[in-house]
Amino acid sequence: MHFPKKYYIIGGIILACSLIVIPLIVIPLSGVLNQKQSTTNKQKQQKQQEITGLAPHNPIAIDLQIPQQGATPKADNNQENAKSTGASTPPASQYPQMYLTAASGATQYYVSPSGSDSNSGSQASPFATIQKAAQVVKPGSLVHVLPGVYTQIITINTSGTANARITFLSDTKWAAQIKTTGSKVPWTTDADYIDIIGFDITSDGARDGLVNYGSYTRTLANHIHDIPGICDTTGGSGMTDNGYTSHDNDIIGNVVNNIGSSYPELCQYVHAIYHSNARGHILNNIAFDNAGVGINLWHAATDTVVANNLVFNNKQHGISIGTNTDNTNGNDGDNFVVANNIIIYNALYGVRERIGVGSHDQFTNNIVYGNGKAAFGDENGNWPSASGSKDTNTITTDVRFKMYKADGTGDYHLQVGSPAINGGTTLGAPSYDYDGTPRQGGIDIGPFQP
């Protein structure tokens, strides 16, 4: 495995920067609810359906298609902004996909370090700052950000809609580099229906790299790293879904490392990925070498899927879930699914289930070994005995990766003969693995099928 600079690799498809596709990722909600629930729990299932808008056994589809760069320019109120055609032919693929294309006539803007904020924002006359583009976008807009270094703070205040999302896209993966100085957060989203794709984000003094207060946002394929953080009760993170009344946010395909870079030892308040609102998906991320937890669900988190992630060498826990009093409905968080992850070599617990959680959490098909204290632990450092344990099909011994490397650049596929091959269950397992390979036949433990 490597981290490509020129192409996006999302869900197993390698695509040039002009077209980014996240293929259909199907997560059966049968893994969210305990399949052994009695009929007395039907009312709770019905309530969950009202909250999520999905029946307990229906799939969730996460998908995205960005229109091709370089669409024929078309005048818009005497400006030079390029327009998408709204029609795009999906590439051939061996497995089914769904697509969400930009609305017909959606405005495209361009940003380049060589541009000017007095320009029109067209491809021929780009803006100089992402913030300028953020001030003029409207539902359906697509902002192309060209390679270069951008030092300005970014705040997104304009929302898209369910049918016309606003997208900020680094046209070459990680080549649009957000590098800020001082304590302000480099990127803040305070709007709904926003996609942030492919940026490299770092800072020399911020608590957080990217903070989202909106709902229905998608943070995709970014590299967030070397954020100093501040080790106090306010804490910090590489990326945070904040806002305890926000909901339905997805964090997919990101690499987050060296968060809390100013703290060589553990800091329990500075984490890599922090999700603190209801529902959402945390999928296909790599989180390593961070001061606190690799993936932390807390405050108002509930009904969230954490799957296909690689989480290792963090100074606290690998994955931690729990709910504080900030939960908007006053109830415990519940229905967490932690499935098919690699969670190894973290300083304390591999997985920690904290206070404020219900009885329907599922931990399945995870590779959890080499962690400092134990594979699993609750708030008191205990975990149920094997007969009553919540985790199923967990493997806690060396699974024989093809090439483990501590910097995220290894090959974490399984060698032939690994005890994790065919050792999993369909319960909670995403239908596609980290590479986008369909999970068919025998289910392997961890993020990768052979």
Among candidates 195, 173, 156, which has minimal Cα distance to 66?
Answer: 195
Q: What is the pLDDT of residue 25?
A: 39
Q: What is the pLDDT of residue 377?
A: 72
Among candidates 344, 343, 322, which has minimal Cα distance to 333?
Answer: 322
How many CA atoms lie within 13 Å of 301's alpha carbon, on the beta-carbon side? Answer: 32
Tell me if 307 is assigned to some domain. yes
Q: What is the pLDDT of residue 450?
A: 76
Task: Output the pTM of the full model.
Answer: 0.80
Q: What is the pLDDT of residue 262?
A: 66
Number of domains into which the chain is organized = 1
Tell me if 98 is assigned to some domain. no
First to last CA, the chain: 14
Tell me if 189 is assigned to some domain. yes
Q: What is the DSSP letter of 222?
A: -
Q: What is the pLDDT of residue 41?
A: 40
Element housing 170 (H / E): strand 166-170
Q: What is the pLDDT of residue 242?
A: 87
Strand pairing partners for 403? Answer: 411
φ, ψ of residue 134 in degrees (nearest 5): -65, -25
The rounded distance, in Å, linking the Cα atoms of 47 and 229 is: 39
Tell me if 444 is assigned to some domain. no
Tell me if 53 is assigned to some domain. no
Measure Cα distances from 99 to 240, 284, 399, 403, 439 in Å.
Answer: 26, 19, 35, 34, 21
Give the model confidence (pLDDT) of 240-253 as tens digits: 888 888 999 999 99
Tell me if 447 is assigned to some domain. no
Tell me if 329 is assigned to some domain. yes
Q: For residue 356, what is the domain's CATH number? A: 2.160.20.10
Give the model confidence (pLDDT) of 145-191 as tens digits: 999 999 999 999 999 999 999 999 999 999 999 999 999 999 999 99
Q: Structural domain of residue 211, as residue ranges?
A: 104-414
Element housing 43 (H / E): helix 42-52
303, 279 contact by CB (below 8 A): yes
CA R_g for the chain: 21
Q: What is the pLDDT of residue 319?
A: 93
Strand pairing partners for 110? Answer: 144
The total of other beta-carbon atoms located within 10 Å of residue 58's CB is 14
The rounded distance, in Å, linking the Cα atoms of 113 and 118 is: 13
Q: What is the pLDDT of residue 298?
A: 79
List of the chain residues with pLDDT < 70: 1-105, 262-263, 265-269, 323-332, 354-356, 358, 378-389
Tell me if 48 is assigned to some domain. no
433, 344 contact by CB (below 8 A): no
The rounded distance, in Å, linking the Cα atoms of 47 and 327 is: 16
